[in-house]
Copies of this chain bind each other. A is one copy, B any other.
């Protein structure tokens, strides 16, 4: 049992955490589907790629996780049996926190002997008509940003609660994929018959998203991407090449078109007054033998200096930036310290672990203006995960505030909590809801 000081220091951090935990906030990035926002059975929770890929990495064959002919029962049985080697991971911690706090599960671990009772609880609670609202309330989430394809109709849900976000990976990197230009024509009402018309169609998409309540555009970017301007004639030629040959077009043409469309989206964000979230550094399909969504990795051989031209050319566009490679956090801090329109954005994927969050947050919070620190987003696929993920973030944040501000710099607890609320609550509002009176 901890002694007085541990009690004190833990007590201080725990008090700050409790203050932070009382606040409601907006989750500015997720993959929630409003029509199926919460889990209806345990498979919806265990199917999260963090569990499938870790169980696979620890030795569970892919065929037992997502092979043909498997039903939910078989998949759950396999996954639960594969959890043992994950007991040390923070992801397993999320799972048990969901089980205990959101479903009243009482066992210390999820095992082949007891998972059915948790599954029953998820099925039972998941059938309650207001389950999504319960989960949002339990997580203190007021609104959650989505990830919407460019042709998503954005209908059938409350866009104040489920905030549309225009995800442009497909438009930018897979323009030539079968059906993409047709979907663009259909959803925008503009036939992309020329390079100029292509950009008109994209602008129409952005305008439609904006009218439907979208508050950001977003994209994930591979390490080799260069967001440099492309001469219009070159871009037009590249577009023709991609129209003619699709995904088989010359890689140089595809790269030129990607940069050109990317900059077109940035111009739309400028016109619409919409932030453009950049998630930089993912290499897709590195492990084709991996499970669904467990095939992508990172490559740190890039510099945000590659993006300086973009940041310079669009001074009125706000760029919330996430980096996947943890050592790039120091560059992100430095760029956000200098560029008014660059904001550190959450802790992404492979860098979304407590020890990485702690180090990255410590660098950010002592050098970047407090109004620019976009603390955290859940990146979740089911609403259950907002609860343990934001709790993890608040624990780290409270620890940093306790140690670095209250203890080392002599701040009052009130001042420290106030700083924490900038990261957790206010800056999301400042950046994505600029029309609101700022909550200074």
Contact for A57 among B9, B59, B328, B336, CB less than 8 A: B336
Contact for A59 among B3, B303, B305, B371, CB less than 8 A: B371
- Report A10 CB to chain B, min CB distance, Å: 8
Partner-binding segment picked from A173-181, A239-247, A253-261, A362-370: A362-370
| Interface check A2, CB cutoff 8 A | yes
CA distance A371 to B57 in the complex (A): 10
Using known A-B contacts A305-B297, A359-B355, determine if residue A59 contacts B370 with beta carbons closer than 8 Å.
no
| Interface check A4, CB cutoff 8 A | yes
Contact for A334 among B10, B297, B304, B409, CB less than 8 A: B297
Task: List chain B residues, Cβ under 8 A from A337.
Answer: 53-54, 57, 350
Identity of the chain B residue whose Cβ is nearest the Cβ of A372 in the assembled complex: B58
Using known A-B contacts A6-B5, A85-B372, determine if residue A350 contacts B325 with beta carbons closer than 8 Å.
no
**Would you give the 0/1 interface string for A394-420, flagging 1 where the beta carbon is closer than 8 Å to chain B?**
010000000011011100000000010
Task: List chain B residues, Cβ under 8 A from A327.
Answer: 300, 327, 330
| Interface check A391, CB cutoff 8 A | no
A73-107 residues with Cβ-Cβ distance < 8 A to B are 84-91, 93
Copies in the complex: 3
A31-89 residues with Cβ-Cβ distance < 8 A to B are 53-54, 56-59, 84-89
- Report A313 CB to chain B, min CB distance, Å: 10
CB pair B334–A308 under 8 Å, yes or no, is: no
Contact for A90 among B5, B56, B367, CB less than 8 A: B367
Contact for A330 among B6, B9, B303, B326, CB less than 8 A: B326
CB pair A308–B315 under 8 Å, yes or no, is: no
Interface residues on A, range: 35 or more
Using known A-B contacts A330-B326, A337-B53, determine if residue A370 contacts B85 with beta carbons closer than 8 Å.
yes
A259-283 residues with Cβ-Cβ distance < 8 A to B are 283
CB pair B289–A299 under 8 Å, yes or no, is: no
CA distance A409 to B404 in the complex (A): 21
CB pair B370–A87 under 8 Å, yes or no, is: yes
Q: Which of A287, A395, A408 has the most CB of B within 10 A?
A: A287
| Interface check A333, CB cutoff 8 A | yes
| Interface check A338, CB cutoff 8 A | yes
CB pair B407–A89 under 8 Å, yes or no, is: no
**A294-B338, A326-B363 provided; 15 other pairs, C-beta below 8 A?**
A3-B8, A4-B4, A57-B337, A57-B369, A88-B365, A88-B370, A89-B366, A93-B409, A286-B308, A287-B338, A297-B331, A300-B327, A300-B328, A300-B330, A350-B367
- In the complex, 14 of the A-B residue pairs with CB atoms within 8 angstroms, ordered by the A residue number, are A4-B4, A6-B8, A54-B337, A57-B340, A58-B369, A85-B372, A286-B308, A287-B312, A294-B338, A298-B305, A299-B331, A326-B363, A353-B367, A355-B362
A-B CB proximity, top 3 nearest: A5-B5, A58-B369, A85-B369
